[in-house]
Structure 1
Amino acid sequence: MKRNIVIATLTAAALATGGTVAAFAAGDDGATATQRQTGTSAQSAADRDDDSADDRDDDASDDRTAVRSGGVTAAEAIAAALKHTPGTALSADLDDDGADAWEVNVVKGDGSEYDVRVAPDSGKVLGAQRDTDEDQDADDRAELAAVKGARTDAREAALAAAAKGTVTEVGLDDDHGTVTWTADTVKGGKHGEWKIALDSGKVTQDRDED
């Protein structure tokens, strides 16, 4: 009641003198403002913590993807696939859709393509399925021709890229007419993307994907 009287008195005085007055409520209103400010700061800090947690979860997920290989590297998966299905390996990908297997794409001598699945823990071939969609465009034919005449195959490219981290994928890329091997790696929660020359096996960072 006293606070209301004081505010009313100040307002009346301001009207009488033609001036203005700013009345700030004390006590509970001040505490409420402080609480609002503190709550906002706490919420911002919580949001930052959530973002950091999300980043950590993403990094942990990446590490788990790499660890799921169970010691079977990309190079070993390619070797196992080629032993089961002889031909030319064009790619190897550590499948992370819940199936937990390496998928190695192999082209046989007659041009037929197979997806060979290799267990990431034992290196055992789980099966090979023929790719019924074998329509190759000009780029596909150029890549296949380049690989057949290359000094570095998919397994050797995977071995070369392994010096940069755990290889989770290796394949081919036609960059303005120059065909190279490409590889994705994970190391310390960070991704790396690399190019491996078909002739020399030299590894360079993939600047196009940096």
Structure 2
Amino acid sequence: MHADHRTSAVPAAALRAATVLVAAVALLTACTGTGEPSPTAAEPPAVTETEAPDASNEPAAGQSAEGPLDAHDAVAAAIAFEGGVVVELGPGREQGVDVWEVGLIRPDGSGVELHVARDDGRIVSQEPLRLDPEQTSAPALTAAEAIALALETEPGEVRELDLGTERGIVVWEVIVDSAAGGRFELYLDAATGTVVKHERAD
């Protein structure tokens, strides 16, 4: 018997397809160096725009967040501007502006009256103040403490404050428009804070 030396023929179409596949793999390997798909670049984080804080609604120095300056705010604004010790305070009007007239002993011992705008705490004007004898030295009870004590005794709004004397005692005279109605006058011992007098003023 003779051996059969015939071989099976490979279809031409299959050969061409294999050649294309090998070429594609070679090209991909050359591009990435690993044969694996190149990683996708990470997307940058999204940028969120933030607004700068709005300072337009911030109260001015010495101004309460609730609105126009009260007596306590006026005392703080005057001391921040001039320094010294407050000895009197009351309502007034300067240059067409509603103000607190705040009298102080300056650090050098002289007197000055500051006109503090009630709407925003600015100093509208100032003038020299002649001090009474009892106003020439700082009392133990400060103006701010006298206001707080008066309002603790008679809740409302302080209208006037004055360092004076009553029966030989240095006192804070405080006029309060009461939250319950009416106007009250309180005398507070400027050394101890004791309420010497508390009565209606109208």
Partner of 2:83: 86
Asked whether 1:181 is paired with 2:172, we answer: yes
* Pairwise CA distance, 1:189: 4.0
**CA shift for structure 1 position 116:** 0.4
Q: 1:121 to 1:203 in 2, by over 3 A?
A: farther
Alpha-carbon distance in 1 for matches of 2:200, 2:163: 14
User: Is 1:194 aligned to 2:186, yes or no?
Assistant: yes
SS of corresponding position for 2:91: strand
Partner Cα distance (1:189, 1:209) in 2: 12
Q: CA deviation at 1:144?
A: 2.6
Which of the pair has more CA radius of gyration? 2
1-side partners of 2:97 and 2:68: how far apart? Answer: 17
Q: TM-score, normalised by structure 1?
A: 0.55
Structure 1 stretches of at least 4 aligned residues deviating more than 3 Å after TM superposition: 96-99, 202-210
Q: 2-side partners of 1:162 and 1:96: how far apart?
A: 24
Count of residue pairs brought into register by the alignment: 133
Flag structure 2 segments of 5+ consecutive residues without an equivalent.
Answer: 1-66
How far did residue 95 of structure 1 move?
A: 1.8
* SS of the residue 1:167 aligns to: strand
Q: Which residue of 2 aligns with 1:100?
A: 98
Higher helix share: 1
Match for 2:158: what amino acid? V
CA contact 2:97–2:117 (8 Å) conserved in 1:
no
- Residue 179 (structure 1) shift: 0.7
Write 1 or 2 for the structure with the bigger share of strand: 2
Q: Residues 142, 92 of structure 1: CA spacing in aligned structure 2 closer, same or farther, 3 A cutoff? A: closer
Q: Distance in 2 between matches of 1:199 and 1:174?
A: 12
Deviation at 1:209, TM superposition (A): 5.8
Question: Residues 76 and 112 of structure 1: is their aligned pair in 2 closer, same or farther, counting only changes over 3 Å?
Answer: same
Secondary structure of 1:100's aligned partner: strand
Give the percent of matched residue pairs that are identical in Structure 1 and Structure 2.
27
The SS at the match of 1:90 is: strand
* Maintained 8 Å contact 1:143/1:174: no
CA spacing shift, 1:162–1:72, aligned 2, 3 Å: farther
Change in 2 beyond 3 A, CA 1:116/1:143: closer
Shift of 1:102: 0.3
Question: Larger RCO: Structure 1 or Structure 2 (Cα < 8 Å, ≥ 6 residues apart)?
Answer: 1
